[in-house]
Structure 1
Amino acid sequence: MDIKKDVQQQFGRSANHYVISKGHRKGGDLKKLVEMAHVTGSEEVLDVATGGGHTANALAPHVQKVTALDLTPEMLSAAERFIKENGHDNVVFVEGDAEKLPFPDETFDLVTCRIAPHHFPNIEQFISEVYRVLKHGGTFLLDDNVAPEDEGFDQFYNTLEKMRDYSHYRAWKKSEWLQKLELNGFEIQEWHRFEKRFEFENWCDRMHLSDSQKADLNEFILKTTEKVKRKFRIQINDTQITSFIGEAILVSATKE
């Protein structure tokens, strides 16, 4: 099974969990993303890998039209219910691949993608497609979990995420994102780093992990080095992991 089938299977059964997920609904990064969009009301927006629809929902009142795209039909249905319940009728829903966007060149004023690219197997192709569908002068707002620059921390975090979610591909480093965006023709305007607190039980339950899978994850974290435990501020109650801290980056880049 390829990674995209994995994504469809994993998120097909987790769609409603992502709609109600507190981190996805109310993360401080979402408010900042809307601020950084600098919209005037006339924009056509594409939200790639819309997931539970939170970004599309947040932008809908401030723009002319939002196209919410996702690879997983169940996710699109959940996002559509959520957004329509909030009274927004200027959002359309399209099933599609982030690495092969089904839109003509220079269609959108703004493209957003939040907490999703760590599932994409070909990040350069995704960035290239975003560049293609953006109008000249348009903005790309990228928001995703990232790995620390240290190789050991990077390996720990990506191994942990892959153990928890087989559809995880890679959380890139901050430096890798900035480099990839610039090499694909974007100009970086600003970026922000956010800390993210993961509550272990909720984080596992969102992916429907079995008790044995949770136990394996718990053991993996317990056995890591003290240096890693300090870096990720891993909280342990007796021998049970309760939480840890990750990070995300929010980048504004323009197509000149």
Structure 2
Amino acid sequence: MKHHDQVADAFGTTAAAYLTSTVHATGADLQTLADAVSATPDAAVLDLGCGAGHASFAVAPHVRDVVAYDLAAPMLATVEAAARERGLANVRTQQGPAERLPFDTATFDWVVSRMSAHHWHDMRAALAEVRRVLKPGGRVLMIDIAGNDHPLLDTYLQAAEVLRDASHVRDYRADEWLAMFREAGFDAQVHSRWRLPIDFDTWVERIRTPADSVAGIRALWAHAPDEVRTYYAVQPDGSFEHDALLIDAH
């Protein structure tokens, strides 16, 4: 199975779980998105890799138009239904990969993305497309799990992620993000960083991680060096904390 198909399959069967996921449905970062776009009420916003639509729902009351864009059709159906329930008539959906956006050049005032980019097959191609569809003077707000600057800590994070979800590509470090944005023609900075607590059982159940992979993650944490277990605050039940960041680019 090709990677794009793997991503669509993984998230197509779990859309409802992501709509109700506390980690995805809540967080101060959603308010940050809403506050940022609220100064541009006539704006068009692209929510890139929208998942169950939480970023779209956060910004929609403050702007003219939101396109919720995702690879998985069932996710988009979930977004459409949830938008109707919320009375958000300015949210529409479009299916496709991040690397090939079916929009005209200079279409959007904002591109936002939340907890999606670690699944993208070709980040540089995706950011080039973001640059293309963004209007002059437009802004990008990119939220994702952050890789770690220390190779040991980063290795364990990436290993746990790909065991949990075979469609995972990479949690990028802040310096990697800034370099890739610069290559795409952006001026970018880290807006904020925070710790994100993860309940292990919910984390693996949401994506339907196979039992042997769940056991593998538990073994990974159990045998990790003390520095790793301490940094990620690994608990006896496998729950842990990792880092998230928000990149602001224009």
Checking the alignment, whether the CA contact within 8 Å between 2:110 and 2:140 is kept in structure 1 is: yes
Checking the alignment, whether the CA contact within 8 Å between 2:69 and 2:94 is kept in structure 1 is: yes
TM-score (norm 1): 0.94
Give the whole-Å Cα distance in 2 for the aligned partners of 1:107 and 1:66.
Answer: 11
Residue-pair matches, total? 250
- From the two aligned structures, give the one with the greater strand fraction: 1
> 1:28-86 CA deviation, whole Å, 9 max, x = no partner?
22112222335321001111111001111111110000011111100000111111110
Comparing 33-42 and 214-223, the one that deviates more:
33-42
Which residue matches 2:246?
Answer: 250
Give the whole-Å Cα distance in 2 for the aligned partners of 1:184 and 1:209.
Answer: 34
Are 1:72 and 2:68 an aligned pair?
no
Give the whole-Å Cα distance in 2 for the aligned partners of 1:190 and 1:118.
Answer: 17
TM-score (norm 2): 0.97
> 1:91-137 CA deviation, whole Å, 9 max, x = no partner?
11111111100001001100111100000121000111000000000
Which residue matches 2:154?
Answer: 154
Checking the alignment, whether the CA contact within 8 Å between 1:36 and 1:252 is kept in structure 2 is: no
Which residue matches 2:2?
Answer: 2
Which residue matches 2:175?
Answer: 175
> 1:181-235 CA deviation, whole Å, 9 max, x = no partner?
1221111255110210010100010111344432222111101111100111111
Checking the alignment, whether the CA contact within 8 Å between 2:190 and 2:245 is kept in structure 1 is: no
Checking the alignment, whether the CA contact within 8 Å between 2:163 and 2:214 is kept in structure 1 is: no
CA change 1:45–1:153 in 2 (3 A) is: same
- Structure 2 letter corresponding to 1:132: R
Identity %: 33
Checking the alignment, whether the CA contact within 8 Å between 1:33 and 1:250 is kept in structure 2 is: no
Give the whole-Å Cα distance in 2 for the aligned partners of 1:101 and 1:182.
Answer: 20
CA change 1:177–1:189 in 2 (3 A) is: closer
Checking the alignment, whether the CA contact within 8 Å between 2:38 and 2:63 is kept in structure 1 is: no
Give the whole-Å Cα distance in 2 for the aligned partners of 1:186 and 1:228.
Answer: 34
Q: Which structure 2 residue ranges, 5 or more long, are not aligned?
A: none
Give the whole-Å Cα distance in 2 for the aligned partners of 1:104 and 1:115.
Answer: 25
- 1:143, CA displacement in angstroms? 0.5
Provide the aligned C-alpha RMSD in A. Answer: 1.2
Give the whole-Å Cα distance in 2 for the aligned partners of 1:248 and 1:4.
Answer: 24
